[in-house]
Each structure stands twice: as C-alpha cells, then as structure tokens.
Amino acid sequence: MTPLDPAAVPPHVVVVGGGPGGYEAALVARSHGAQVTVVEQQGLGGAAVLTDVVPSKTLIATAEWMTIADRAPELGIRAPDDVVDPLSDVAVSLATGGIPVVSAYAAPGSSGLGGSAVQAAASSAEKRKHLVDLRAVNKRVLALARAQSADIKGRLEREGIRIVAGKGRLDGPSRVVAELADGGTETLEADAILLALGATPRTLPTAVPDGERILTWTQMYNLRELPERLIVVGSGVTGAEFAGAYNALGADVVLVSSRDRVLPGEDEDAAELLEGVFRSRGMTVLSRSRAASAVRTDDGVEVTLSDGRVVHGSHVLVAVGGVPATSGIGLEEAGVQLSESGHVVVDRVSRTSVRGIYASGDCTGVLPLASVAAMQGRIAVAHALGDAVQPLALRTVASNIFTAPEIATVGYSEEKLRAQGSRYITTTLPLARNPRAKMLGVRDGFVKLFAHPEAGVVLGGVVVAPRASELIFPITLAVQHRLTVEDMASAFTIYPSLSGSIGEGARVLDARVSG
C-alpha cells in the first residue's frame, strides 16, 4: 500500500497495549502514513519483554552456561589441581565415547577403580560445583528486560509514534480512554483500534501467590537466593522451562504434572526424551499428580496433591497457564465478543465483532507466541488501513521450547496427521549419530521430518537439540513454500554441522518417495 495523501487528514490508529502485538502493529501503521498512539501501562514491550519472554529466556541462557561448564570435564577440560587416572572406569568411558556416570576426574590419591573412584570423583565434582549468585543473575535479567523496553520505546518515538503511559479502556466502538498514572484521563478518538491486551498468570484459589514463597512466573525474578527445593506446579511450556533452568542452576526441583508426561501438547517422542533428561539430571517428576493446594509453612511451603500426598519445598512456582487481560475495560459494553474463557474472538485478519476494532496476541487465545502476536498486529493494521493482506496461517508457525535440549516444531504434528487420517512418511535421526554433535558432547536429541508419501512435500518437522530454535528455520522455509524432500535433499549442508541431520533426514525420505 502506498502512503496516504499528505494533504489528507491521516487516520488515527490507537493501539491499546505495547507488547509485540501492539508495537509491531504501531510501526506498520506509521509506515502507512497513519497517526499512531500507543497506550501502555507497564512499559513498552509489555509482559513479553518485561516479565515473560525476555527475562525467562535470559535466565535460561544463564542456566545453559552452567550446563556447558559442568560438562567441560567430559571434553577434557579441568581445573589445574584436578588429575585423571588413565585407568579409571570414568576415564575409559570418556576415551571410548561412553557416558560417564559422574565427573570424569578422580580426586588426587584415589585408585581410580571401582566404587572408591566414583565416590572420589563425585566428591571432587561437588567441590568444583559452580555457585550461582541468583541476586546478580536476576539483576542482570531485569536490566536486560528494561534495556530492551527502552530500545522499543526509542524506536517508536523516532518513528513519530505517540506513547501514552496509562491503562487503556474502550468508551464505545471508536474511543479509547487512557487512565493516567496521576489519576487523570485522556480521551482518544480513533479511526481504528487495536487491542493488544496480553494475559496474566492464572492463579489457583488454593495456592494464592504471595511473591515470596508461592510464586507466579512474573515473581521469580524477585528471588535473591537459589531455592533449596523448588516445586513447579504445571508441566506445560512455562513449567518445563523454569524447572529445567532452576535444575541446571543447582536447585533441587520437583515437577508436578497432572498428565502422563511433561509437555503433553508437544511431540510425544520429544516430550519423552526431555522427561528422561530431566530425571537423569536429578529432577523429581511426579506424573499424573494434580496439585490441590499450596500453603506456606514456617520455613517453606507444602503442596498437597489431589491424592493426599504432601510435597515439601522451600518455594513453589504455580505455572498453570494464563488469563486474558480483557475484563473491566469496556469490551463487552462496546460490543466486542468474548469467548467463554474471556478471550477476544477474532478472525484470521484479526477483526473483532465490532467494525474498526481489531485484536492481537495472547488476549485472542489464538497461539500464545510473541511471533504470532506480532504477525496478528501487522496484519490487523494493514487490513484496517486498506492494504491487501494474507490471512494468518498457523500451519507455518514455528515454535520453540527453551529447555535443554530445546524442542522446536513447525507444520503438522504427528498427532495432528494421525487424527485427521493423513497419509505421511516420517524419519527420525538421533543426534548421537551426528559428527558435530559428537564433537560438542551432545547426546540427547533428534531430527524428525514428515512428508507426503507420493508428492514428497514437507508437512512438518521436529528438532530436539541445543539451539533447536535456530535449526528449525530450514524446515520452516520448506513448510512455508511447500518444498519437497527432494528440494531439501539436493541443497548443500555444512560438514560437520547439526543441520546436516536435516539434510540427511530429507535424503532418507526422498529415497522412500522415489522408491
């Protein structure tokens, strides 16, 4: 769409909410020549930047460094005072590519054989265990979040977008009232309104957060010391990510899962692999266990399960999903249709039930990803300003779970293909066979591809690996552009590289299609 006629009065687009679904939309609206106002109460970037995505992934990146450092002895890296007995079971395990049970290096003076070597090595590993200054970690996490928020604010201001600090509410179908911090209000007349309201952590009436011992994910960054024993209630994406991160940082973690396995909505093989990794790293996973309540004790918390069992810990994180922030801001009074769950009902171009009002992000319940929120926002304002747009296509959305290893997916899942009776072929290549993975000491993970058995079109894929979020991109391109496994198989990959397994998987499927 070409910019509006400078002589004409530009339309006024009001964006309520400055998260990814809001600020990305504001930039698109401004590039189309509109006058744009963003109303945001918390800060630019919204919860995604200030309390959710950016802080949690920064924490996880810190935990990842701990995991790498603790694995260093397996690669032959040790502190100057450490020695290794070349005849020890652990050393032989390393030399032959086996998996050592404990740290590779026995304490000085030990025989290096049998149980004494294992005990000495474990003792040495314990002495060298890295210590986490959680106060410093969280200080850095929050500083990075504020810096990212400031960057977004600066970008919007440079583009000429007006920012109003306050809480926005609808006053009819074409008016937004901003409730300012000083108690005043400002009324904004709008030609188009985008609601990017986000969501807040869901809480349980029997486990009311206090910000000290019973916590939501937004409150985890207030901790100043590593929890001695962290109970995580909820084994979805948020619960799994925090459980894995705090386990890597050195906390004793108990993960309470009401389902048969962690990550019940993800690829079954990937979820089972991750749960196995969690258990191998010392995490306690309580499957098919529903938390009934959580209460504080004199020195910690007690979580009572629905079967009567009681789990004791120092802290509990309640990670049981989110609630759309749609109540009390005039949506229903303006005629905006909400679902039974309180989400704003939208179509594939983000239109609500009211002409001129659009919505994007977690408040719509479409898919709780920052990338989806941003795309919804961009589509919404382009459509509102008369541009031709492609409706949102969730089949091509790539998503990632930032555990260790990461789990990235795109396209049709195997569960979906089975449920709809689709014909498909698949192959799974363990990363343990990949030469680059061997060099990096990576054992856990795989690449899985799905394709049509006759046309060879790539239908979807799963990558479980370190940096799976980076490795999924070539599969995303294949799904987006309906490439075939032959197209992928004929493309060059680097040797050695983790992405080489994607090319190898494509060649395996191509041979089956051709045959």
- The binding site for FAD consists of 168, 362
Packed helices 237-249 and 53-71: angle between N→C axes, nearest 10 degrees: 40
How far apart, in whole angstroms, are the C-alpha atoms of residue 406 and residue 238? 13
- The beta-strand segments (E) located in 142-237 are 162-170, 175-180, 185-189, 192-195, 199-201, 214-215, 229-233
φ, ψ for residue 126, nearest 5 deg: -65, -40
Question: What whole-number distance in Å separates Cα of residue 211 and Cα of residue 227?
Answer: 14
Taking alpha carbons only, the member of 210, 56, 229 closest to residue 138 is: 56
Structure tokens belonging to residue 42: 């918390």
For residue 31, the SS3 value is: helix
Q: How are beta strands 357-359 and 192-195 bridged, if at all?
A: parallel
DSSP 447-497: EEEEE-TTT-BEEEEEEEETTHHHHTHHHHHHHHTT-BHHHHHTS---SS-
Tell me, letter by letter, the H, E, C secondary structure of 487-505: HHHCCCCCCCCCCHHHHHH
List residues forming the annotated binding site. 168, 234-241, 321, 362
**H/E element holding 436?**
helix 435-440
Nearest-angstrom CA–CA distance, 356 and 190? 9
Q: What is the largest CA-CA distance in the chain?
A: 87
Q: Beta-carbon neighbour count of residue 476 at 10 Å? A: 19
Binding-site positions for NAD(+) read 234-241, 321
SS3 content of the chain, % helix, strand, coil (to 5): 35, 20, 40
Burial category of 131 from C-beta neighbours within 10 Å (exposed 0-12, middle 13-18, buried 19 and up): exposed
